[in-house]
Structure 1
Amino acid sequence: MNARSWWLMIAVCLGILLNPLNSSMVSVAIPRLQSTFQLDYTAVSWIIFSFYIASAIAQPVMGKASDLYGRRRIFLTGLVISFVASLIAPLSPNFGWLIVFRIVQSIGTSMIVAVGLAIVRIHITEKQATALSVLSIFLSGAAAIGPFVGGVLIHWWNWHAIFLVNIPFVAASFLLAWRTIPDDHPTVSKVSHKWMKRIDMPGILLFAGGLVALLVGLLSIKSSGHMSLINMFVGLSGLLLLVLFVRHELTTESPFIPLRTFGKYPEMTWVNVQFMLVNILFYSIFFGLPSYLQLVRQVSEFHTGILMLSLGVCSLVVSPLAGRWIDKSGTRPVLLSSAILMTFGALWIVTLSPTSSMFSVSLALAAFGISNGLNNVGMQAALFNSSPKEIIGVASGLFSTSRYLGTILSSLLIGVVMGSTFSFEGFRVLAMILTAIALSLVIMNWRQVQKFKERLQA
């Protein structure tokens, strides 16, 4: 690649790391936010929900928008939105405004991620595989080091720092992107009826409204300890909206989530279901363990970040090794090994006590980190193997949706189990539930391995 291509790569990389970095830094900030705004654990968990729900909607929508309005324009607009949100969020007068700015930040960073990969694919023609692998490293690496960065920032400053730290990255990315990303010619200049129909606005509204209402209803029941008529009405309204969403997606020409694809390709559907379960497991630990360390063990944000770094480092180290293993043995042994490691990690957490050594905690984190590294590569390879080439774009979109659904459900699981107060007893119950999910993945993958052996013998 020439010098201009490298500068373009740097511009895109500095931009796309913002979404995973901001999604993971907050895991260490939850106890501090809970104390600052005097909230129970269920309420403060919306700092996680809001980001992932907004990302799940914004990324596919902005991907479609870039085809009409131009990728350069969407990328630069996303950087401006991220800059404004990161600058204003620390000034939030209350938690409600912080959630609003968190959603705005999610939309801005999602705009960047949605078009970043496309910009590299279009404008970098030499060593494209290398360029894409570098982008993947920034995406996974930012998520991996997020808790460590967040722990250091909060320890030395305060929760405000996890927003302000974005500003130099945004500024550098914008200046480089302005100079290096070539102009593209948008097909339309303003919002049109064609655009509204193409992005399936009714489907988006039904999905977002149903998901939020269902979450509010379920979490309110758990937090209050009783089922009031209002909570029941909100939860049932959310469920009804999601049913209407499914009906709408099955009949519309350009669905937000193409549900019919799941029915046509059962093997691909199975991969997505497994990926969702994997993310429920991983992110339940990713968000639950920092709260256990800080609220139960009274570990500082700084040391919590250092401990959580072991999870990210193990994941990054194992990922390239997983690729070589898959080339030799296929995806099934890798995914089975990952499920076994997650089962071990969840069982190990069940055995933890309020006085367990930090080595024991690190051992559980290492197990989940290694399994995550295996899954990052193994699940992606399984998706490509199970998806017909003519729908690989749709398959990739559904794969991302499965990831976001897993992260949202992990946050819901933590909120429902914990209720208003994070406790060691609740954390142990959470670990038991995760053990059951991990064991189901072991059984699923073991059956797949046995079926594959039977085919070879036949």
Structure 2
Amino acid sequence: MSARSRWLMISVGLGILLNPLNSSMVAVAIPRLQNVFQLDFTVVSWIIFSFYIASAIAQPVMGKASDLFGRRKIFLTGLVVAFVASLLAPLSPSFGWLIVFRIVQSIGTSMMVAVGMAIVRIHITEKQGTALSVLSIFLSGAAAIGPFIGGVIIHWWGWPAIFLVNIPFVVVSFVLSWRNIPKDEPSRSVALGMSFRKWSDLIDASGILLFTVGLVALLVGLLSVKSSGHFSLTNVIVGLIGLVALGAFIRHELRAKSPFIPLRTFAKYPAMTWINIEFMLVNVLFYSLFFGLPSYLQMVRHVSEFDTGILILSLGLCSLVTSPIAGRWIDKSGPRPALLLSGILMTLGSVWIVTLNQTSPVISVCLALAAFGISNGLNNVGMQAALFQSSPKEMIGVASGIFNTSRYLGTILSSLLIGIVMGGTFSFEGFRILGIILTAIALSLVIMSRRRRESGQVEESVGSPSSN
């Protein structure tokens, strides 16, 4: 690989790592934010909700925008947006303004993720597999070390520093990207000559609006009931607005020419649909632990942010170490054995959480973290392999987009689950209930993996022994 290609990968990698880094650092900041702004746990959870809802919407939209305006422009603009949001977030006069800047930050970082992989695919022609695997390390590595970095930073400099830490990455990535990302020639005539109505139809603005209103209203309705402890007319109305909007969204997507989420694809390819359902459940499991465990350690066990970050680091490291091993195993045996083992490990980890009590050694938490970390490494490779096997070649692009949407929906549902179980205060009893729910979800994944084998939905991989 040439020096120019390596510098291009570094330029893109430093940009795309900002999204997973910022989504994971906040895991150890929630207790501090709750104390600073004097809010209950349910309200503070919106620091997570807002980021993932914005990412789920922004990434596919920015992917479409890059086809019209150019990937280099979108990438550089994303860096500028992330820079501004990172500067302004620490100055937030209230939690509401912090949420606003968090959403802006999510949009900026999503712009880079949406086009980063495409830039590498287009401009690096040699050893593309190696190049994409390196970018995957930037993504997974940032998510893995995020809680550790967040814990160290908050311990020494306070919560505003988790936003300011982005600035060096943004500046270096912008300088390198300006020099190393080649200029592309977007279809300017299409972009400039397009009417607002056509542009709106292309990005499916109506679908995006209905999806956003429905999801946010439903979350507000559900979380308000849990936080207040009773139903009110306002809660019911807000929740109903969410359900109606989501129903209208489904109807709209089935009719749209360029849908935000191509729902017809799910009906046409049921095997691919089940893979996405499983992937969504996997992310509900993983991120419920990822966001719930730091709060348990700090609020229930009174562990410092620094020590919490070190403990959570074991989860990321296990995932990073497992991923390449899982790749070789899946090349030989296909994804089913790896996914089955992953489900078993998640079940054992969830059961272990249920057995913890308020006097259990804190270090024993690492057993659950290791189980989930290894299972996450298996899932990262196994689910993608299963997706590609169940999707027609001409649908790979669409399938990948739906796959990422499933990831974000799972993450959003995990935050919702934690908020509903905990209510206004994070407690040991709530954490144990969360463990019971996660155990049930993990068992369902094991059952789904076994049934997939029986129904033959996931075939043997191309690299299995029988095909060599």
Give the TM-score taking structure 2 as reference length: 0.96
Q: Partner of 2:18 in structure 1?
A: 18
Shift, 1:452, TM fit: 5.0
The RMSD of aligned alpha carbons is 1.4
Q: How far 1:360 moved relative to its partner?
A: 1.6
Residue by residue over 1:286-338, the C-alpha shift from the partner in whole angstroms, topping out at 9 and shown as x without a partner, is 00000000000000000000000000000000001111111111111110100
What's the CA shift string for 1:383-420, capped at 9, x where partnerless?
00000001100000000000000000000000000000
Tell me the distance in 2 between the aligned counterparts of 1:383 and 1:448. 13
Answering whether residue 345 of structure 2 is matched by residue 341 of structure 1, we say yes
Q: Counterpart in 1 of 2:207?
A: 203
Any residues of structure 2 matched to 1:242-257 within 5 Å, and which? 242-257=246-261
CA–CA distance in structure 1, aligned partners of residues 235 and 397 of structure 2: 39
Supply the distance in 1 between the matched residues of 2:453 and 2:253 (Cα, whole angstroms): 34
Alignment check: 8 A CA contact 1:333 1:449 kept: no
Q: For 1:177 and 1:448, locate their aligned partners in 2 and report how far apart those are by CA, in whole Å.
A: 44
Q: CA deviation at 1:358?
A: 2.2
1:437 aligned to 2:428?
no
Aligned partners of 2:243, 2:451: CA distance in 1, in Å?
33
CA distance in 2, matches of 1:192, 1:429: 53
Contact in 2 for aligned 1:418/1:426 (Cα 8 Å): yes
Q: Distance between the aligned counterparts of 2:447 and 2:5, measured in 1?
A: 46
Q: Would you say how many aligned residue pairs link Structure 1 and Structure 2?
A: 456
Q: Which residue of 2 aligns with 1:420?
A: 424
CA contact (8 A) 1:27 1:147 kept: yes
1:307 is paired with a residue of what secondary structure?
helix
Q: Percentage identity across aligned positions?
A: 78
In the alignment, structure 1 residue 365 sits paired with structure 2 residue 369: yes
2:98 equivalent in structure 1: 98
Give the corresponding residue for 2:114: 114
CA distance in 2, matches of 1:446, 1:13: 37
Shift, 1:185, TM fit: 1.7
Whether 1:287 and 2:277 are equivalent positions in the alignment is no
Instruction: Quote the residue 1:315 is aligned against.
Output: 319
Residue 465 (structure 2) aligns with: none
Query: Is the Cα contact below 8 Å between 1:219 and 1:412 reproduced in 2?
Result: yes
Residue in structure 2 matched with residue 180 of structure 1 by the alignment: 180
d(CA) in 2 for partners of 1:391, 1:94: 45
DSSP-derived class of the 1:186 partner:
coil
Structure 2 CA distance, aligned partners of 1:204 and 1:252?
12
Structure 2 CA distance for aligned equivalents of residues 222 and 334 of structure 1:
37
Separation in 1, partners of 2:127, 2:199: 34
Cα distance in 2 between the residues matched to 1:73 and 1:153: 32
Partner of 2:4: 4
- The answer to whether 1:143 aligns with 2:147 is no
1:188-236 C-alpha deviation (Å, 9 max, x unpaired)? 3557433221100000000001000000000000000000000100011
Q: CA deviation at 1:446?
A: 1.9
Alignment of 1:302 onto 2:280: no
Which residue of structure 2 aligns with residue 328 of structure 1?
Answer: 332
Aligned partner of 1:228 in structure 2 is: 232
The whole-number CA distance in structure 1 between the counterparts of 2:430 and 2:443 is 20
- Residue by residue over 1:340-372, the C-alpha shift from the partner in whole angstroms, topping out at 9 and shown as x without a partner, is 000000000000011111232000000000000
* In structure 1, C-alpha distance between the alignment counterparts of 2:443 and 2:11, rounded to whole Å: 42
C-alpha distance in structure 2 between counterparts of 1:153 and 1:165, whole Å: 9
Equivalent-residue separation in structure 1 for 2:419 and 2:456 (angstroms): 39
- Match in the other structure for 1:380: 384
Match of 2:29, SS state, is helix
AA paired with 1:298? Answer: H
Which of 452, 457, 461 matches 1:448? 452
Which residue pairs with 1:268 in the alignment?
Answer: 272
TM-superposition CA deviations, 1:83-102 (whole Å, max 9, x none): 00001100000000000000
Distance 1:317 1:452 in 2: 30
Contact 1:25 1:147 in 2 (8 A): yes
State how far apart, in whole Å, the 1-side matches of 2:366 and 2:5 are: 40
CA–CA separation in structure 2 for the residues paired with 1:447 and 1:255: 31
Note if 1:219 corresponds to 2:219: no
Work out whether residues 275 and 379 of structure 1, in 8 Å CA contact, stay in contact via their aligned partners in 2: yes
Kindly state the Cα deviation for residue 451 of structure 1 after the two structures are TM-superposed: 4.5
Which 5+ residue runs of structure 2 have no aligned equivalent?
A: 461-468
Aligned counterpart, 2:132 = 132
**How far apart, CA to CA, are the structure 1 residues paired with 2:132 and 2:456?**
31
CA displacement 1:400-444 (0-9 Å, x = unmatched): 000000000000000000000000000100110010011111111
Q: Which moved more, 1:418-427 or 1:119-128?
A: 119-128
TM-score, scaled to structure 1: 0.98
Secondary structure of the structure 2 residue equivalent to 1:183: coil
Q: Structure 1 regions of 5+ residues with no counterpart?
A: none
Distance across 2 between alignment mates of 1:118 and 1:257: 20
Instruction: Measure the CA separation in 1 of the matches of 2:178 and 2:455.
Output: 53
SS at match of 2:417: helix
